[in-house]
């Protein structure tokens, strides 16, 4: 298995969706390839944090506004009666049943322990396995919590250094992974900085020279999305180092730049996210999105 194939399978491997044979192939490759092991570890941490986030927000208002819920169910019940079969449950019964449900959910929302405390009562109506399942869920939550603590300890401190690109002194965020060759990094950042300077010069022709045909077409359609205040001055606050990923057989170079011009987003910094591709020995901007 090559590094490329491993990289393609990494997400499925981490999530546990590969079959045994494929998982063994990935594991074997990781065992002998330090760069891929680092990729694996980094992506595993990110995915773990994302999964932790799924449980991080306890909604407070769902089902609490009982008059609204009742009105909604009443409308639905009326609609069901008119349409004959939206719900096979009798309309009147839906409302009373829903009110009981809403009250139960409200009680559950008020005390996290309610669902667990209800298990003995539920066991009267539902076969026992539910108790095991809730117990399993609690174990999973505990493991996720422990994992989150470990992940928190592994967050790396970013290093910032001042570099000079196209005459601009810009702090660069070094994300500390094995970097692209310095000349590639500098070339991509150089194209991006030139593009931004052209944006603030109001020079659409210069911007187009730095853009792929696809981006040129988008710029023609919505020039206001790309041109900045012609008389404005822009400060470069930060550049990331360049990251790549593969899309449809094409390597895309990602570069995020934080800027401040005193206009967009008021006095705050804002961000432009660039996708750059290599074409005919040159690097060309293929996408530019404005971000807060």
Among 1, 22, 27, 101, binds other proteins (CB under 8 A): 101
Cβ proximity to other proteins: between 202 and 265 the closer is: 265
Structure tokens at 80: 């069901």
Interhelix angle 34-53/129-154, rounded to 10 degrees, is 120
Q: With CB under 8 A as the contact rule, which of the stretches 122-130, 185-193, 198-206, 259-267 interacts with other proteins?
A: 122-130
The DSSP output letter for 158 is P
By the rule CB under 8 A, 89 interacts with other proteins = yes
By the rule CB under 8 A, 70 interacts with other proteins = no
Please state, in angstroms and rounded to a whole number, the distance separating the CA atoms of residues 202 and 195. Answer: 11
Minimal CA–CA distance to 190: which of 208, 176, 170?
Answer: 170
Cβ proximity to other proteins: between 143 and 245 the closer is: 245
By the rule CB under 8 A, 225 interacts with other proteins = no
Cβ proximity to other proteins: between 196 and 198 the closer is: 196
User: What residues between 16 and 35 interact with other proteins by CB under 8 A?
Assistant: 17, 33, 35
By the rule CB under 8 A, 139 interacts with other proteins = no
Among 147, 166, 168, 175, binds other proteins (CB under 8 A): 175
Cβ proximity to other proteins: between 220 and 246 the closer is: 246
By the rule CB under 8 A, 209 interacts with other proteins = no
Cβ proximity to other proteins: between 98 and 195 the closer is: 98
* CB burial string 86-119: b at 16+ within 10 A, e below: eeeeebeebbeebeeebeeebeebeeeeeeeeeb
Yes or no: say if 174 and 159 are a contact pair by the CB < 8 Å rule.
yes
Give me the torsion for CA of 274, 279, 179, 256, rounded to 10°: -10
């Amino acid at each position: 298995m090559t590094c490329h194939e491993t990289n393609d399978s990494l997400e499925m491997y981490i999530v546990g969706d590969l079959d045994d044979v494929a998982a063994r192939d990935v594991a074997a490759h990781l065992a002998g390839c330090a760069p891929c092991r680092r990729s694996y570890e980094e992506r595993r941490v990110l995915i773990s944090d994302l999964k932790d986030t799924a449980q991080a927000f306890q909604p407070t208002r769902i089902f609490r506004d009982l008059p609204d819920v009742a009105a909604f169910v009443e409308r639905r019940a009326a609609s069901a009666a008119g349409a004959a079969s939206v719900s096979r449950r009798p309309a009147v019964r839906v409302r009373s049943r829903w009110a009981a449900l809403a009250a139960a959910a409200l009680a559950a929302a008020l005390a996290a322990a309610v669902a667990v405390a209800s298990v003995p009562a539920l066991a009267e109506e539902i076969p026992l396995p539910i108790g095991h399942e809730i117990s399993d869920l609690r174990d999973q939550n505990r493991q996720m919590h422990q994992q989150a603590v470990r992940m928190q300890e592994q967050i790396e401190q970013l290093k910032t250094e001042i570099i000079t690109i196209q005459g601009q002194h810009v702090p660069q965020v070094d994300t500390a992974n094995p970097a692209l060759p310095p000349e590639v990094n500098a070339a991509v950042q150089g194209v991006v900085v030139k593009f931004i300077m052209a944006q603030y010069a109001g020079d659409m022709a210069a911007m187009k020279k730095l853009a792929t045909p696809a981006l040129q077409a988008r710029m023609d359609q919505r020039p206001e999305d790309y041109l900045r205040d012609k008389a404005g001055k822009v400060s470069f606050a930060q550049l990331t180092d360049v990251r790549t990923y593969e899309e449809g057989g094409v390597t895309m170079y990602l570069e995020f730049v934080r800027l401040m011009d005193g206009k967009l987003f008021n006095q705050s910094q804002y961000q432009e996210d660039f996708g750059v591709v290599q074409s005919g020995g040159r690097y060309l901007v293929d996408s530019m999105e404005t971000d807060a």
